[in-house]
Every structure is written in structure tokens, then in C-alpha cells.
Amino acid sequence: MRMSHVDFMEDTNVVMRHKFLKEWNDDRDALQYPPAEGRYSVYDGKGIFEHLAFIIDSYYSLQTDSFASFSYDTQRAPKGMYASEDPSLTAGIEFKNIPFIQVCVDRINSVTINNNTYEFDITDVHECMKLNLTSAEVKEIQQDADAVARAFEKRVDRQQPDTAT
């Protein structure tokens, strides 16, 4: 029984990588040494926003584009229906009930340059932000990957502490 659970989890991870990671290919799923390809990486700001746009599009089209039985982690009050009659099993979930995407960044605290010497404060910093996109923003991102940057800019400005006194 344990082996079938492990196989299920590994198969699910493979499906998730293919569903949510832009340009993921089968070579990356092969367990071989040395690997056929390097680490999955994004190297510039434009690439990050293109990959985030891909993730957002994949996430918000999960019920319409997936052939697997994936759904959002939502909680709704039962309405006196049996599970077989629950419309959420056969129909899409309303946009307002889709959980927000949480974006997290793990980084070191800071790097400063002093007399041509780099000084690293290697304290781990873990920052997360819930990306509560509107339906209009999701549609815009699906049409134009650059819209992700605009969506982040709106939210970062609102989350900055007010330093004016």
C-alpha cells in the first residue's frame, strides 16, 4: 500500500511540474545522473514575469484545461446535497471562491559593497504575498504577460510601510 501512495505522489508531482512550469519537458523528469539538462532556472526579470504569467494562466484555467481530477482547495457550507449531487464536482467554481495564489521569495538579507569588497548578510529572509487578482487582471495576464508586472506594482505600493510622519 505504501508503494502505491509513493507512486501516486510522484506521478502527481510530475503532472504539477508539467502543468505549472513553463517550458518543462520530459527530459527533466528522467532520474538519471548526470542530468540531461541543468537546473530549472529563470535568469532575468522579464523571464520571471513570463513564468509567473504562465503559472497564473495555468492556475486559473485548472478546471477547464486539466484532464486530471484537480480542483481548488475551497471550503463551502453544504447546502443539503449529497456529494454526488454537488455541482462543484461537475461545474466550475465561481472566480470569487478560487483561493489566492501565494507568491513566496527566499533570499539573503542584503549585499553591500564597501571598498570594492562585497559584504553579505546571509540571514535568511522568507517573504510571502497573497496575489489576490481580479477576474479582469487574470484575463489581461492571459493576453499579455507584462500585465503580471503591473499587478505586482499595484500590490507592492499598497504594502509598503508609510514612512511619512
pLDDT tens track for 83-124: 444 443 334 677 888 888 888 888 889 999 989 899 999 999
In a domain, 38, yes or no: no
SS3 31: coil
In a domain, 67, yes or no: no
**Structural domain contains residue 148:** yes
Helices 45-60 and 2-20 meet at what angle, rounded to 10? 120
**What's the number of CA atoms in the CB half-sphere (13 Å) around residue 72?**
22
Residue 127 counted as domain residue: yes
Domain around 159:
93-164
Q: In tens digits, what is the pLDDT along the chain, a chain of 165 residues? A: 566 766 777 777 777 887 888 887 766 666 666 666 667 677 788 888 999 999 999 888 887 776 666 777 765 544 544 444 444 333 467 788 888 888 888 888 999 998 989 999 999 999 998 888 988 999 999 999 999 999 888 877 555 444 443
Q: 134 lies in a domain?
A: yes
Asked whether residue 136 is assigned to any structural domain, the reply reads yes
Residue 148 buriedness (CB in 10 A; 0-12 / 13-18 / 19+)? buried
Within-domain flag for 111:
yes
Quote the number of domains for the chain.
1
| pTM given for the model | 0.67
